[in-house]
Amino acid sequence: MTQAQAKSLFAEKLAAEKGKGTYRELIRLEGANSAVVSIGGRNMINLCSNNYLGLIDHPALKKAAAEALEKYGVGAGSARNIIGNTRLYEELEQLIAEFKNEEAAVVSQSGYNCNLGAIPAIMGEGDLIFSDELNHASIIDGMRQSRAEKKIYRHLDMSSLEEALKERRGSCRRAMIVTDTVFSMDGDIAPLPDMVGLARKYEAMVYADDAHGTGILGRGGRGTVDHFGLTGQVDFTLGTLSKAIPAVGAYLSGSSEMRDWVVRNARPILFSTSLPPAALGAAAAAIRLLMESTQLVDRLWENTIYFKEKLRELGFSTGRSKTPIVPVILGAEEKAVRFSQELQKKGVLASSITFPVVPRGQARVRCIVTAGHTEDQLDQCLDAFRTIGQELGV
Ligand X SMILES: Cc1ncc(COP(=O)(O)O)c(C=O)c1O
Please pick, among 100, 151, 243, 308, the residue that the annotation labels catalytic: 243
- Is 250 among the residues that bind ligand X (CB under 6 A)? yes
DSSP alpha helices (H): ranges in 181-276? Answer: 192-201, 224-227, 256-265, 267-271
- Is 209 among the residues that bind ligand X (CB under 6 A)? yes
Q: Which of residues 230-249 bind ligand X (CB under 6 A)?
A: 240, 242
Q: What is the dihedral of CA 296, 297, 303, 308, to 10 degrees?
A: 170
Residue 308 a catalytic site member: no
Please pick, among 108, 184, 274, 352, the residue that the annotation labels catalytic: 184
Query: Residue 66: phi, psi to the nearest 5?
Result: -65, -40
Candidates 68, 107, 134, 211: give the one binding ligand X (CB under 6 A): 211
Of 161 and 382, nearer to ligand X (C-beta) is 161
Residue 18 a catalytic site member: no
Of 88 and 275, nearer to ligand X (C-beta) is 275
Of 176 and 378, nearer to ligand X (C-beta) is 176
Count of alpha carbons within 13 angstroms of residue 122, beta-carbon side: 29
Q: Which of residues 169-188 bind ligand X (CB under 6 A)?
A: 180, 184
Are 191 and 158 contacting, i.e. CB atoms less than 8 angstroms apart?
A: yes
Site string for ligand X, 88-127 (x = CB under 6 A): ----------------------xxx---------------
CB of 367 to ligand X, least distance (A): 16
Residue 204 CB-density burial (10 A; 0-12 exposed, 13-18 middle, 19+ buried): buried
CB of 275 to ligand X, least distance (A): 11
List beta partners, residue 353: 364
Q: Which of residues 132-161 bind ligand X (CB under 6 A)?
A: 136, 138
Please pick, among 100, 212, 227, 373, the residue that the annotation labels catalytic: 212
Of 58 and 136, nearer to ligand X (C-beta) is 136
| Identity of the residue numbered 73 | G
Q: What is the dihedral of CA 153, 154, 158, 162, to 10 degrees?
A: -30
Can you tell me whether residue 144 is helix, strand or coil? helix
List beta partners, residue 358: none
Find the farthest-apart pair of alpha carbons in the chain and give their distance in angstroms, rounded. 61
DSSP 26: P
- Is 362 among the residues that bind ligand X (CB under 6 A)? no
Are 100 and 253 contacting, i.e. CB atoms less than 8 angstroms apart?
A: yes
Of 136 and 335, nearer to ligand X (C-beta) is 136
Q: Which of residues 287-306 bind ligand X (CB under 6 A)?
A: none
Taking residue 23's Cβ as centre, other Cβ atoms within 10 Å add up to: 11
Residue 243 a catalytic site member: yes
Task: From 66-74, 164-172, 205-213, 340-348, give the range in contact with ligand X by CB under 6 A.
Answer: 205-213
Of 250 and 384, nearer to ligand X (C-beta) is 250
Q: Which H or E run includes 18?
A: helix 3-20
Number of residues that bind ligand X (CB under 6 A): 13
CB of 294 to ligand X, least distance (A): 24
Q: Which residues are catalytic?
A: 184, 212, 243
Contact residues for ligand X, defined by CB under 6 A = 110-112, 136, 138, 180, 184, 209, 211-212, 240, 242, 250
